[in-house]
């Protein structure tokens, strides 16, 4: 019988962070949809946040958090206190969208850098093999 491994502190933090961020966004969306939608939207946000956190989507969650805060602040400045939840919800959506795009670009950049490093290592190995002959 294999012993079950305990989750790392980092993985546990990611799950809790996902639950907090996505649960908050779910509550904001539920507020916009109407009072009776808050429990359903919050529950869905909690579940999605746990899954995203478990899968290691920390950059994605941070982008949503930043979008929520900036959207709420911008709505407060432009439209007043009563529109903060609208701005925060829209900011969260934009933050998530931009987070995915930025993450894809960072992954593409890392892959290109790794390919260039691999090509230069291969060229050095070929050059040193040719000079030894």
Q: How far apart are CA 48 and CA 50, in angstroms?
A: 5
pLDDT-wise least confident of 35-39, 82-86, 117-121: 117-121
The pLDDT assigned to 66 comes to 94
Q: How far apart are CA 75 and CA 82, in angstroms?
A: 9
Confidence of residue 85 (pLDDT cuts 50, 70, 90): confident
61 Rama class: left (phi>0) / alpha (psi -120 to 50) / beta: alpha
CB 69 within 8 A of CB 89: no
């Amino acid at each position: 019988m294999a012993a079950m491994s305990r989750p790392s502190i980092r993985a546990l933090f990611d799950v809790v962070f996902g639950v907090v961020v996505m649960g908050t966004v779910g509550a904001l969306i539920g507020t916009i949809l109407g009072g009776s939608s808050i429990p359903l939207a919050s529950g869905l946000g909690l579940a999605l946040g746990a899954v995203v956190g478990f899968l290691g989507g920390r950059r994605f969650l941070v982008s949503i958090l930043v979008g929520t805060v900036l959207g709420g602040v911008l709505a407060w400045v432009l439209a007043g206190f009563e529109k903060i939840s609208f701005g925060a919800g829209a900011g969260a959506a934009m933050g998530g969208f931009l987070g995915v795009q930025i993450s894809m670009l960072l992954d593409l950049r890392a892959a290109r850098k790794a390919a260039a490093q691999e090509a230069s290592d291969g060229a050095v190995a070929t050059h040193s093999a040719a000079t030894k002959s």
